[in-house]
Amino acid sequence: MNVDIARKIDYWFGVILCFLLSVVNCIVKAIRFKKKETGSAKKILFVKLSEMGAIILAYPLLAKIKKEYPCAELFFVTFNKNRDVFKLLGGIIPKNNVLGIREDPLAFILDTLQAIKRLRREKIDIVFDLEFFSRFSVVFTYLTGARKRIGFYHYTFEGLYRGNLLTHRIQYNPLNHITKNYLSFSQVIKQIEKSAPQFEEKMNESDIIFPKYASDNKTRMRLLEKLRNLGVDIDKKRLFLINPGEGILPLREWPLDNFISLSRRIIENENNHVILIGIEGAVKKGDLILKTIVNPRCVSLISQTELDELLELFTIADALISNDCGLVHLAMLSPIRKFIIFGPESPQIFSPLGDNNWIAYSHWPCSPCLSVFNHRNSSCSDNRCLKGIGPEYIYEQIIESDKQNARPSVNSQK
């Protein structure tokens, strides 16, 4: 579904639906006898439709809930395209409990109704709404019938209306990394309700953990076969992965000419190999890079790998260069060096966590202009904050990283 259309539907229909359901909720609360709070959590649901990267960044929350409620059955609702990521997260959500929703408008409605039907039959106790002020997700959360519904609430922020459908209202902190924002949800689960922004205790940062990908021989063999078919010899070449972007949010993508210039600079060294990666939306950009460079040491695996194959590729490659996107957060599960280019969004909130992260951010006075407060819908039409980060700067960062990690320099010939 087109992002702009989705935003308009979520606003014009979402606001009305949130208001009407809020009225219903008030009436139901007024006439229903209060049940004694048991504190049980037998079935727990997480809702995050879009953004594979955000699902990965929510892993510490999932792990903490799993640890504190080991007997609870966990469920997750997301878009179909994100379902495979759970295979790489240690099986924390059982495969049959990951409910996928297709993005085609008619299929979206049908899948949503099917998901609500099943979740009401499951009698979900608690729902964590991990979306950022989406009206659809809070409506979905309410319709599951869960007695505890935890999610972001606007409090005194203007223009972020989601109705009165949450029982536990978490104030989104725009100065904290999103992983910390998510992890704060776990602090209120034992409360009967939460209607004020303050918390009762500090967050334990030792809870911020992520699984590490363990190399799989069968996956590696499949990957190596694909590389051989492209003429890549991993024993003789250093592999540099480049993700040019898929065009879903063009404003946050580095100019294609910069990726081309950087790729040319890297393959000046005959020991280096550039491999283009990404999802189907990046195919057009990848083709333009290949047609412009025309070098056998610049090849494409865009839309030709499964997620596990990408992670396997991350274990053997030297570096990943990319805009801020889900693949960068997937790479967190591996030891690969990541060179991530930020501009319209803030690395303070969405950067990958852990080691080997090199962040390029120009600190323009208007940056970041994409945030949860404007549903990532900026008026900017010229992302100079990204254009101002030149390919030579990224190349210098790679050289500096080589020195710090005692690697052969990217520009040194054997």
> Mind listing the pLDDT tens digit for each residue in 60-69?
999 999 999 9
CATH number, domain with residue 111:
3.40.50.2000
If asked whether residues 154 and 273 sit together in one domain, one would say no
Domain range holding 110?
A: 3-207
If asked whether residues 262 and 367 sit together in one domain, one would say yes
Predicted confidence (pLDDT) per residue in 251-269, tens digit: 989 999 999 999 999 999 9
If asked whether residues 163 and 38 sit together in one domain, one would say yes
If asked whether residues 154 and 221 sit together in one domain, one would say no
If asked whether residues 275 and 370 sit together in one domain, one would say yes
Mean pLDDT of 238-250: 90
- At residue 34, the pLDDT reads 59
Is residue 115 included in any domain, yes or no?
yes
- At residue 31, the pLDDT reads 83
Two tokens, residue 87: 């295979």
Three-state SS letters, the chain: CCHHHHHHHHHHHHHHHHHHHHHHHHHHHHHCCCCCCCCCCCEEEEECCCCHHHHHHCHHHHHHHHHHCCCCEEEEEEEHHHHHHHHHCCCCCCHHHEEEECCCHHHHHHHHHHHHHHHHHHCCCEEEECCCCCHHHHHHHHHCCCCEEEEEECCCCCCCCCCCCCCEEEECCCCCCHHHHHHHHHHHCCCCCECCCCCCCCCCHHHCCCCCCCCCHHHHHHHHHHHHHCCCCCCCCEEEEEECCCCCCHHHCCCHHHHHHHHHHHCCCCCEEEEECCCHHHHHHHHHHHHHHCCCCEEECCCCCCHHHHHHHHHHCCEEEEECCHHHHHHHHCCCEEEEEECCCCHHHHCCCCCCEEEEECCCCCCCCCCHHHCCCCCCCCCHHHHCCCHHHHHHHHHHHHHHCCCCCCCCCC
Domain boundary among 174, 207, 240: 207
Is residue 37 included in any domain, yes or no?
yes
If asked whether residues 195 and 221 sit together in one domain, one would say no
If asked whether residues 203 and 225 sit together in one domain, one would say no
Is residue 256 included in any domain, yes or no?
yes
Q: Give the count of domains, the chain.
A: 2
If asked whether residues 240 and 174 sit together in one domain, one would say no
Is residue 414 included in any domain, yes or no?
no
Measure the CA–CA gap between 414 and 132, rounded to whole angstroms.
50
If asked whether residues 201 and 221 sit together in one domain, one would say no
Is residue 411 included in any domain, yes or no?
no
Say if residue 278's pLDDT is above 60.
yes
Predicted confidence (pLDDT) per residue in 201-228, tens digit: 898 889 999 999 999 999 999 999 999 9
Say if residue 403's pLDDT is above 80.
yes
Domain boundary among 188, 207, 226: 207
pTM: 0.92
If asked whether residues 326 and 254 sit together in one domain, one would say yes
pLDDT > 70 fraction of the chain, expressed in percent and rounded: 97
Is residue 339 included in any domain, yes or no?
yes
Q: In which band, very low, low, confident or very high, does the pLDDT at 376 lie, cut at 50, 70 and 90? A: confident
Predicted confidence (pLDDT) per residue in 99-147, tens digit: 999 999 999 999 999 999 999 999 999 999 999 989 999 999 999 999 9
Q: In which band, very low, low, confident or very high, does the pLDDT at 243 lie, cut at 50, 70 and 90? A: very high
380-395 burial, b at 16+ Cβ within 10 Å, e below that, comes to eeebebbeebebeebb
Q: Supply φ then ψ for residue 190, to 5 degrees.
A: -90, -10
If asked whether residues 13 and 160 sit together in one domain, one would say yes
Measure the CA–CA gap between 162 and 18, rounded to whole angstroms.
6
Say if residue 76's pLDDT is above 70.
yes
Is residue 317 included in any domain, yes or no?
yes
Mean pLDDT of 381-409: 91
Domain boundary among 207, 242, 259: 207
Is residue 409 included in any domain, yes or no?
no
Q: In which band, very low, low, confident or very high, does the pLDDT at 39 lie, cut at 50, 70 and 90? A: low
Q: In which band, very low, low, confident or very high, does the pLDDT at 160 lie, cut at 50, 70 and 90? A: confident
Higher-scoring residue by pLDDT: 241, 402? 241
If asked whether residues 122 and 238 sit together in one domain, one would say no
- At residue 157, the pLDDT reads 87
CB contact set of 211 (below 8 Å; sequence gap of 6+): 59, 88, 89, 90, 333
